[in-house]
Amino acid sequence: MKYLGGSPLSREQSDLIMSGVNERYAADGTGFLAIERRVDGAFVGACGLQHTPWYPDDYEIGWRLAREHWGHGYATEAAASWLEHGFESMRLPRIISVTDTPNLRSIAVMRRLGMTLDHEAVLEEDGVPFEATVYAITRADWISR
């Protein structure tokens, strides 16, 4: 994963994160869930909807895929399912997606999903500033696509 930092997690750290993911999904139907390849069940990455600390009034859609799974349409397919869930089941008015500005692959996914450029900003994660590009789509635009 080129645009996400950090080191590998211990089993205990992973279990703690997954416990939070499961609690969030049970509470409000959001969070990051695994993406599995249909043909063999291989783990591809994760995708989901969540509140973001930068934009607390919006839900953000995001994805994280192992590099060997880039370019196969998995992010677009998974994200489209989450957008459908967000707009049709949750009745959200708008969903955003935030990425590092140099992450052209994620920006391409956003565009394939029908999202449009909302703005650019300098955001901070774990005390480290980064240049971000924010795309958005409204429920009306999703329905009319």
Is residue 4 one of the residues assigned to a domain?
no
Structural domain total, the chain: 1
What is the pLDDT at residue 19?
78
Distance between CA atoms of residues 107 and 131, nearest Å: 13
Tokens of 122: 């300098």
3 domain-assigned: no
Q: Which residues of the chain have pLDDT under 70?
A: 1-7, 9
Residue 79, pLDDT score: 98
pLDDT score recorded for residue 105: 96
The enclosing domain of 67 has a CATH number of: 3.40.630.30
Instruction: Provide the residue range defining the domain that includes 55.
Output: 11-144
Alpha helices in 10-138 (DSSP H): 11-28, 74-84, 104-112
